[in-house]
Every structure is written in C-alpha cells, then in structure tokens.
Chains A and B, each alone.
Chain A
Amino acid sequence: MIQATVPVVFNKRIAKDHYLLRLKSSTVAKKSKPGQFVHLLCVEKPGMAPLLRRPISIFDADPKTGTIDLIYKVMGEGTEVLSKVRSGAALDLLGPLGSTFQIPASVQTVYLVGGGVGIPPLYFLAKELKKNHRVRTEVFLGARTKEWVICASDFKKLGVSVHTATDDGSLGHRGSVVDLLVSVITRETKQARLKEKLICICGPTRMMQAAAAASGRFGIPAQVSLEERMGCAMGVCMGCVVEVNSAPAGSHARFQRVCTEGPVFPSEEIVWNIH
C-alpha cells in the first residue's frame, strides 16, 4: 500500500454517468488484486470541499504498462469533481487497500453477480479467473436500465458468458439479476457438487442481500464486496463498519471495517442492514 500523487492517463465517459479513469502507478498496478480499491482525493487543496477521499474499486490493473483502471459513477460531489479531471493532471491516491476475493482450489464454476457500478471489480476477478483454465465463469449483470449495464462487452472479450437483466426490460431479462442467477443455477445444479461452485457478488445492498440469500438456499458459498462511506481507509477511524454475526454481540469485533477486513466478506457473515 502506498500514498502517491500519480498521473492521469485519461478519464473518459463510457456510459451515462459512468467514467473510466486510467492512472499510472506501477506499484499499485503490481500489487492490486481483485476486490481491492484505492482511496482517491478528489480535490486539489486538502480541506476544501469535498473534504474526504473517495473509495473506488479497481476495474483492471496492468503490471506491464504500470496502470490501473477505475470505473466510477457520478453520485455526488466527490465523483462530480473527479469526472472533470483531465488527462495530464495528477491525483493523490492511497492503495491498493482491502481484502480480495478468495477462490478456493476446489472451485470449478464461479458465478459473478454485479449490479450497476458494482460490476467493475468483478471484471478484474473474471480476468484473473480466466488465467486459470480450470475455472468456468458465468457473469450476471443487472442495472435499472440498459445504459447502466456497464462492462458487458469487456466480459464478452474475455470469453465468459454474460447474462443481463434490467429493471425496465430495456436489455436482457426484465427484472432482477438475482432471479436470472437463480434460474441458471437451478438448471445447472441437478447433480449438485456445491463445493465446486462459488458466487461473487457486488452491487446495491438489496441486490447483494437477495443474491446472498439465494446462495444460502442453494448451499453454494458466496462472497460479497461491500461499499460504505469511508473516513481513513487505513483501519483507524472505525467509520466504515458492517455488522457481522461471526463475533458475539457486544464484542469489539462485532463491527468489522469495510476498508480493512473488507470490502470482500463471506456473505453468511453479514448482518444485512439497509440504510
């Protein structure tokens, strides 16, 4: 993990409200693993609005070119400022940070379930999985409408099969991406070899909760990548916590840090709390 001011290679709009930001940092590019994020300062002068850094998941990292790619959606003040950064500028970054997706050696099929701007870190994972020819990867992408189903072509280029769902039916299945996941798993899991399967999830909380519940019904292990407002991202402020049921209530480990123990957690540990 480093803190450095790194050059912006480009920062371009790839879909409605979504941007692809490429940064040059050979250290971060070498060290990054799927599931991790960087904490970006989105202002020129510290202390000016917006005050805090913004955690953004890593979409891709290329140790050869020494670059990392981030995809973010303009959600508020921080990402709005970020969207205006031009190539040639420099950004202050802290990273790579957080836990990574863990793929046990026994796993042969990985279902990636992404919603909206939760999709990008799953691409990084799919790319890593592709290096291991033994693992079959199926991707399920969901969003409110087709303009927000991002990265579908990137997954296709990797050669993984992509299933899409939109709330308004403008692309793929009309309805929830979790329903789509359930129908595919139901079809495939007749001769259930559950330990050979894994579900990796990243997206809106409600979607992750539903996908985690579905994984529980099938008995397939799942990992979720969570998002929380963050202060330090260094593990000191205890601001970005999630409640877990693996520690007893009242224990100091009952609330774990999304920045340090997370963002990737085993789904059965999470006490889902929509706020």
Chain B
Amino acid sequence: MKTEIFIGKLKLQNPVMVASGTFGYGEEYNRLYPVDRLGAIVTKSISLKPRSGNPAPRIYETASGMLNAIGLQNVGADAFLKEKTPFLNSLKKAKVIVNLAGESIEEYVELARRMERVSAVDGIELNISCPNCERGGIEFGVDPALTAQVVGRVRKVTRKPLIVKLSPNVTQIVTIARAAVDVGADALSLINTVLATAVDIRTWKPRIATVTGGLSGPAVKPIALRMVLQVHRALPKVPLIGIGGVTTWEDAAEFLLCGASAVQVGTANYVNPKAPLQIIDGLSRYLQEKKLKSPAELVGKLQLPGQWRGVPQVISGERRKK
C-alpha cells in the first residue's frame, strides 16, 4: 500500500497537511515531533509588509470550536524569506506551501512573484478568505469576478502549484470554485473559518475585540464536508483539500470520501499537537484494513442515494439536468 497522493503535480508523502495559521512556520511544533513526517506544512499567512494584527481579546472557545480574529499578525515577506525559510528548506519529505494574503491584487501578485524562486516553497495557497481583515482576504473570496481577477493575475506570475483557499461565507461555493479553476487554480482548499460571534452576557459585550471572528474546530466539520462534496461533484477533476474540524483519522476519511484528496489539520493542533501524526497512522491502518492500494481509492467514493439530486439548486448554483 502507498500513502502518497497527488494534488495536481504536487506529490505528498501522505494526505495530511497542517492548516495555515495553526502551525507557524513549522519550527515550533518540530520541538515536539519531526514535522518532516507531514504531507505538507502550510505556513501562517504572509503579507507583503509586517502586520500587527487585531487588538485582544482575539480568541474565544465555543461549543466544540473556537472563534479567532487574529488579523493576520505576521512578520511580513522579507522576514519570512530571511528567517523562516532556512528551517523549511531543511525538510526533506514534507512539502511546504506558503499561504499568501494581500490587501490588493497587486500585493498578491508581488507576493507570488517573490516566492517564485524560493526553493523552500513547493506551492502557494492564496488566502482569499480571511474573515478578519479590513482589506483583501474575504473581499476577494466572496465575489466570483474578484476571485477570477486575483487568481488569474497570480497564475501569470507563478509556475508553482497554485491552491486557492475558499471561504464558506458565500451562498454558492461552486460558483467561486469554478471562477478560481477557470483561470488556472491547480487545486482548492476549503473551508476557511465561518464568520461568527459570541457574547458575554455579564458585560453585554462581544467576546472578541473586533466583534466578529472566524469559527473553526469540530463545530464546522459538517459544513466543510458538505462544501467539499458539492465542489467535488461539480468539479470532479479538481484536487480538493478538505479543511474544517479535522481532529481524528476518521474525520480525514470522511473528507476523502466526500471528494478531498488531502486534508489540513487546524484547530486540533492546539488540542492535541500530535493529532496530524495520529491521523497519518490511523488513515494508513484504515486503508490496509480496507485493502486499498492508496488513499486516492477513497477519494469521492461516498455512496450517494441513486435519486439524490444534489443540494438545493439555490445553494449549488448548478442547473440540474432534467
């Protein structure tokens, strides 16, 4: 049995990645286990200039989930290239995907251009779905025309595998997915966090300084699964990376069955730092038990009822065949 899987032309040693913003630049968790065992590391979002992020409080725990509104605090592209790439370059097996966050199309393009010749970088994930920034981010990811513009422009300056990270905060995810793929996205990762809030009834104030934040963790997994299923049915040839509450290998298997070729582990890193390793091993055992030759044999194998016509049309954005 092989554990490798392809995301377009990018070959991962296993289908388990770690999600942007939950894993720094890899070094931190390498103190606890060899992160070179991962399929891929997706870096914390990198912006062109350093960003100070949002005021505190930035996080709040909710039922089976958490809200965050970090606001993309990061060291910026210069410091990333200088300080963070040496470690990433030392990884032999795990792929490195840089997550890029711009405030304008020009910034996304400039960021992608600067990563093009960096050998540590195996691929790009475009963050057009951060719900916690004033400019950029989600602004692009909720509008198919803007999605097409930013992805198309970035495509022109990079030959690296280009993954576009989608926001769930839309009515028709397939429309956005199609817009990204039509202009050259190699793969899609979904979902980013769900825009949400929580209230302190003692003080009558929001729990998060910026009032709203992004919900992540097991609470969002069913939403993420539904969206992966929808996009996979509409665009069966496009490699998908499932994100949203992946905590155990069983969660990862669910995502693969719905059509994801790989998963990203996010919030679970905080709860159980070794969760990605346990998922890798658990998935591998499961494939063996099922006598499958590779994880690809699970992808999209969800057994749907014959008469199922897809999610309601207003949500799917797809015309049904009569």
Which residues of A are at the interface with B, using a C-beta cutoff of 8 A?
A: 1-3, 41, 46-53, 92, 94, 228-243, 249-255, 273, 275
Query: Number of B residues contacting the other chain (C-beta, 8 Å)?
Result: 47
Picked from B28, B60, B61, the residue with its CB within 8 Å of the CB of A236 is B28
Task: Check if A238 sits within 8 Å of B28, measured CB to CB.
Answer: no
Question: What residues of B have a CB within 8 angstroms of the CB of A255 in the complex?
Answer: 52-53, 55-56, 73
Picked from B21, B73, B247, the residue with its CB within 8 Å of the CB of A47 is B247
Task: Check if B271 sits within 8 Å of A51, measured CB to CB.
Answer: yes
Cβ of B3 < 8 Å from any Cβ of A? no
Task: Check if A237 sits within 8 Å of B22, measured CB to CB.
Answer: yes
| Given A252-B50, A252-B75, A273-B55; A50-B61 close (CB under 8 Å) | yes
Number of A-B residue pairs with CB-CB distance less than 8 Å in the complex they form = 125
For this complex, 17 residue pairs linking A to B, each with C-beta atoms less than 8 Å apart, are A2-B32, A3-B32, A46-B247, A46-B272, A46-B275, A47-B248, A49-B63, A52-B270, A52-B271, A92-B272, A237-B21, A237-B270, A239-B58, A239-B59, A241-B58, A249-B52, A251-B52
| Given A237-B70, A251-B50, A252-B52; A51-B58 close (CB under 8 Å) | no
User: How many angstroms from the CA of A178 to the CA of B44 in the assembled complex?
Assistant: 41
| Given A41-B272, A234-B28, A254-B52; A240-B63 close (CB under 8 Å) | no
Task: Check if A3 sits within 8 Å of B247, measured CB to CB.
Answer: no
Task: Check if A252 sits within 8 Å of B270, measured CB to CB.
Answer: no
CB under 8 Å from chain A, chain B span 26-49: 28-29, 31-32, 44
Task: Check if A52 sits within 8 Å of B73, measured CB to CB.
Answer: no
Question: What residues of A have a CB within 8 angstroms of the CB of B70 in the complex?
Answer: 237-239
| Given A237-B22, A239-B68; A47-B271 close (CB under 8 Å) | yes
Which residues of B are at the interface with A, using a C-beta cutoff of 8 A?
A: 21-24, 28-29, 31-32, 44, 50-53, 55-61, 63-66, 68, 70, 73-76, 79, 205, 209, 217-218, 245, 247-248, 267-275
- Which of B24, B59, B274 has the most chain A CB atoms inside 10 A of its CB? B59
Question: What residues of B have a CB within 8 angstroms of the CB of A251 in the complex?
Answer: 50, 52
- Shortest CB-to-CB span from A73 to chain B, Å, is 17
- Shortest CB-to-CB span from B298 to chain A, Å, is 21
Question: What residues of B have a CB within 8 angstroms of the CB of A238 in the complex?
Answer: 53, 58, 70, 73
- Which residue from chain A places its CB closest to the CB of B21 in the assembled complex? A237
- Shortest CB-to-CB span from A104 to chain B, Å, is 29
| Given A46-B271, A47-B271, A237-B68; A250-B218 close (CB under 8 Å) | no
